[in-house]
Structure 1
Amino acid sequence: MFDKQNIVISENPVSKFLFSNTRSAVIWLIIRLYVGYTWLTAGWGKVTSDAWTGENAGAAIQGFVKGALAKSQEGADVTGWYANFLESMVLPNAKAFSFMVAYGELLVGLGLIVGLLTGIAAFFGALMNVSFLFAGTLSINPLLFILATWLVLAWKVAGWYGLDRWALPLLGTPWNRSNRESSLKF
């Protein structure tokens, strides 16, 4: 008889070490600090810039979007659907998007550096990287996207040398609330 409920597929040793073993946390610490520092410095530059969050907020993002729209006309650097999104959503709301990008970069950088909600911070960093890639901007975005994706996969141990070591047991996970409740009992 074949029982579908009791099938267990074991994890390979490399994945188990990288994504579930706290001895790999030093690897993730190095990656996390690099990605976090990159986001923090980019965000700080924008937060302190007049064209992003100051009196002329939205000017920088308007220039960025107009450049991306020009790339959509020239060739396949920016796809049509993303150009439509930039033109219809981002451009009319440039000031709001300007603040979201500037403070989003800053918060992702801080979250990764202090190791708080590392998987969530890395996810939003990767989301911004994909947005920049869709807009036809390469630079460091592919590398940061790959590293952020790895940090998302390693969420259980990536923040071990950070605040996640204490925050994750207190917060628990949505799929296992009983662990959180038992860890909160004194």
Structure 2
Amino acid sequence: MRDKSTIYIPENPVSRFLFSDTRSAIIWLFIRLYVGYTWLTAGWGKIQNDAWVGENGGKAVEGFVKGALAKSQETADVAGWYAAFLENSVLPNAKLFAFVVAYGEFLVGLGLIVGLLTGIAAFFGALMNVSFLFAGTLSINPLLFILATWLVLAWKVAGWYGLDRWALPKLGTPWSKKVE
């Protein structure tokens, strides 16, 4: 029963098609595979690199953070509050952050490629992109952030050609009963 004091605005047909119609899943499949492959290969490269994960783990993060801190002094590419976060939280824990970034990138890529918990994987990919952008690194991060944001919006159908097709009905959603 609808509350008479609440006004419901119907979804427009384009949004309904893109974000709720399984016919759009083929579009999201290509986007998901591209973003997933990009994350998977980036993470795998870091996992195989001793400066990220291994005996010298954290050295790559230390170099990255020191470069971002230098940018914060020279230009406005890195905000002061983010530079303080990098200096006080990331730099002293560089080995831990290197491990989290390397395996995080790999797992985000894997989740997107197999289409499992697509919206969650895309969210964490976007979070990493924003972190890199805040640190003054452009590269492919703006494009990946936009695509990941769209994948988060399309979470209901983005994994249709993937494991989400079977996993989401089993897991249910916070606003519906679990399907038995």
Q: Normalised by the size of structure 2, how large is the TM-score?
A: 0.97
Give the aligned partner of residue 42 of structure 1.
42
Give the aligned partner of residue 14 of structure 2.
14
Give the aligned partner of residue 74 of structure 2.
74
Name the SS of the counterpart of 2:18 in structure 1. helix
Letter in 2 for 1:24: S
Shift of 1:19: 0.1
Stretches of 4+ aligned residues off by more than 2 angstroms: none
Give the aligned partner of residue 164 of structure 1.
164
Give the aligned partner of residue 4 of structure 1.
5
- Equivalent pairs, count: 178
Give the aligned partner of residue 149 of structure 1.
149
- Percent of aligned pairs with the same amino acid: 81
Q: Distance in 2 between matches of 1:36 and 1:159?
A: 12
Q: Distance in 2 between matches of 1:33 and 1:102?
A: 19
Letter in 2 for 1:60: A
Name the SS of the counterpart of 2:138 in structure 1. coil
| Gap runs ≥5 in structure 1 | none
Shift of 1:3: 2.6
Query: After superposition, what is the alpha-carbon deviation per residue over 1:142-183, rounded to whole angstroms, capped at 9, x for unaligned?
Result: 00000000000000000000000000000001222x1x1xx2
Query: After superposition, what is the alpha-carbon deviation per residue over 1:10-37, rounded to whole angstroms, capped at 9, x for unaligned?
Result: 1000000000000000000000000000
Written as runs of structure 1 = structure 2, the 5 A alignment for 1:112-151 is: 112-151=112-151
Q: Is 1:102 the equivalent of 2:102? A: yes
Name the SS of the counterpart of 1:52 in structure 2. coil
Q: Output the aligned Cα RMSD.
A: 1.0
Query: After superposition, what is the alpha-carbon deviation per residue over 1:39-92, rounded to whole angstroms, capped at 9, x for unaligned?
Result: 000000001110000110000000000000000000100000000000000000
Letter in 2 for 1:145: F
Shift of 1:136: 0.2
Name the SS of the counterpart of 1:3 in structure 2. coil
| Gap runs ≥5 in structure 2 | none
